[in-house]
Structures are given as C-alpha cells and as structure tokens.
C-alpha cells in the first residue's frame, strides 16, 4: 500500500520450520445439513454479512430469488 509503513500492513506467522504441516480432517455433516449446503450453494454465495443470489440469465433471477428464500426459511 502506498504511503503505509510495511510494519503496519505486513504480518508474519510465528511458525517453527522444523515441524511438518498438519492437514485438517475433512468435515462431515448430517444428511440434512449436507442437503441444505448443496441446495443453498447452488445459486447463492454466502459471506460473513452478505448473501449474493446468482443467476445465469436475468429472466431466471426472480425464480432463483424465490427458491433461495424458500430454502433459507426451510433451514433457518
């Protein structure tokens, strides 16, 4: 970043180079949660404080909105 001291914007992780990295275990979900994740992820992008509902064509966007809100109500 221009005009910002690198000591403010750069962070270094305190990692010991003598230890090998550990891979996290794959998370497993119940059948219902897995189904919800697939349905919601099909036409939505969810962030910390935002939800974006996506459509391939403008003509199908209204249908995707209805489906997305129906799924959110069902799993909420």
**Tens digit of each residue's pLDDT (9 = 90 or more) over 10-30:** 877 888 888 888 888 888 888
Q: What are phi and psi of 44, to 5 degrees?
A: -135, 150
Q: What are phi and psi of 49, to 5 degrees?
A: -130, 20
**Tens digit of each residue's pLDDT (9 = 90 or more) over 27-63:** 888 888 887 777 777 778 878 788 888 888 888 889 8
pTM: 0.49
Total residue length of the chain: 76
- Which three-class secondary structure state does DSSP give residue 45? strand
What is the residue extent of each domain of the chain?
A: 26-75
């Amino acid at each position: 970043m221009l005009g910002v001291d690198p000591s403010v914007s750069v962070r270094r992780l305190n990692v010991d180079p003598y230890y090998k990295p550990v891979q996290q275990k794959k998370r497993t979900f119940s059948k219902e949660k897995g189904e919800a994740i697939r349905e919601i992820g099909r036409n939505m992008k969810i962030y910390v404080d935002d939800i974006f509902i996506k459509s391939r064509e403008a003509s199908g966007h209204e249908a995707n909105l209805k489906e997305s809100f129906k799924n959110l109500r069902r799993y909420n």
